[in-house]
Amino acid sequence: MAVRDRVRVAAPAFIAICAVSIGVAASLVPWWVTIGALLLLGVAVLGWLSLRGLLMFYAFVAVNLGVQELPVDVGFAVTPDVIVTSIVIAAFAAYFVMRRQSHLPTYVVPFAFFLLVSLATLPTSPAPFQGFKAWFRFLSYPLIALTAAEVVSTREGVWDLVRVLLLSSIVPLTVGIIQLLTQSGEIVYVPGLETIVRLKGTTGGSYTYSFYLCVITLLSMTLLFERSHLGLSTRTSIALAALAALSTASVILTFIRGAWLALIAGWLVLGAFAYRRLLIAAPVVVALMWFFVEPVRARMLTILMPSDTSVERLILWQYSISLFLERPVLGHGLYAFEWGLTDRVRSVLPIVIEGTSPHNEPLQFLVDSGVVGAAAFYASVLLAARQGWMLLRTSKEPLFAAIGLSLIAFTAALLVGGLTQNPLSSQPAVSIYFWLLVGLSTAALRLHFRALPQAT
């Protein structure tokens, strides 16, 4: 095996070790050391391992990059995520321009239409700068998926990216455990308990942390259930079981009710499509949490209290509908609700601050992008999930079928969770891993169809 080939094979492990070291160092050294190390590692990986290395690096560290703002006075917040995402977009876009791809996945067309609609509304948006930042972020998502689909060209490559996706949770979960032990997470008041501590990992917030861990839980559970077909060793199976259990417990300890619903929805999808035991296990887990974990029960019961945030959200939803009806076709512009209409929203809910979302993703897309943009976005999401269905129904390769089922379950989780949160519109770390899983499914589907003539 040539030296360069050996480097390519060892890339996931190399990136994992470096990223974990940097993640641990982030709490021990000045911020500029961490940022400098991340950028240098990114440049090194890009130079030595080409686009595949950049993708692996990005998949591993993306969840950790949006937390700390750099002390740069340019009129808006600059985070490492902005810098790395800019590099990723430039590299991915250049790749596709040079390759001149003509056969694109079906989900690209409606997503491109969504981007065009969003760009067209920028001149009339009440928050054009924030809208452009959001548009820039949304642009990266299909590029991430397409890049994963292009550079992952073998079954071993599929496994490599799956490993990186799972290993990306090491630093967030480790920090979450430290937050639990030191009670240093987000402090939330709950009637009857005074306060509870929410875990937030390295993502900067409990909402992003909880929904990000949903994909880790669902993917690890699917692989665990398929361990015999995949030929996994006992050690690997134990590691997957531990990861699934730790991720599930961490989602519970974020005390984000929308994420609880999302994870249960993902479990039920896994149970309905393949693993019937989960149809029993899911309600059993809910019952155990209700009867034996007092903070969970208290958090659920707060829904019935007049002071609960659910009352505020009902007001936000009602006003969101009136805002949507003002511009129902193309909407007010990306992130208009969060940044451009704050003063108007504050007239019905005085506690609203800039950056507050309506806590309902369909409503946010309707307000920001209108019926046309919202329909285009959700069409792209459903077409992406359709790839998972095709893999599940047609692929004889257990790994590909497992990836397809994980994508279906995660899509269902995000759609259900989106009824009370905004995981796909306002939580970049969640969207990145959704579209990475989409790209992985595209790659698996291409490998599946490529193998069909040989089978016949």
Same domain? For 11 and 143 the reply is: no
Amino acid at 125: S
Task: With respect to residue 230, please indicate whether it lies within any of the assigned structural domains.
Answer: no
Note whether residue 171 is domain-resident: no
Is there a single domain that holds both residue 111 and residue 49? no
Residues 41 and 145 in one domain: no
Residue 141 and residue 4 share a domain: no
Q: Which of 100, 133, 167 is the last residue of a domain?
A: 100
Is 244 domain-assigned? no
Are 302 and 257 in a shared domain? yes
81 plus 109 within the same structural domain: no
Quick check: is 180 in a domain?
Answer: no
Residues 413 and 331 in one domain: yes
Range of the domain at 289: 101-154+251-455
Shared-domain flag, residues 88 and 108: no
Check whether residue 365 and residue 408 sit in a common domain: yes
- The number of distinct structural domains making up the chain is 2
| 245 in a structural domain | no
Q: Does one domain contain both 133 and 78?
A: no
Judge whether 231 lies within some domain: no
Per-residue pLDDT of the chain (456 residues; tens, 9 = 90+): 444 554 554 555 555 555 555 555 545 545 555 555 555 555 545 544 567 877 888 888 888 776 555 555 545 556 666 666 766 676 676 666 666 555 789 999 999 999 999 999 999 988 888 888 889 889 889 988 988 898 888 999 999 999 999 999 999 999 999 998 888 878 777 666 667 888 888 887 888 999 999 999 999 999 999 999 999 999 999 999 999 999 999 999 998 989 999 999 999 999 999 888 888 888 888 888 888 888 788 777 777 665 566 777 788 888 888 889 999 999 999 988 887 777 777 777 776 655 677 889 999 999 999 999 999 999 999 999 999 999 999 988 999 999 999 999 999 999 999 998 899 988 888 999 999 999 999 999 999 888 776 544
**Does any domain span residue 427?**
yes
Same domain, 7 and 149: no
Is residue 314 located within the same domain as residue 417? yes
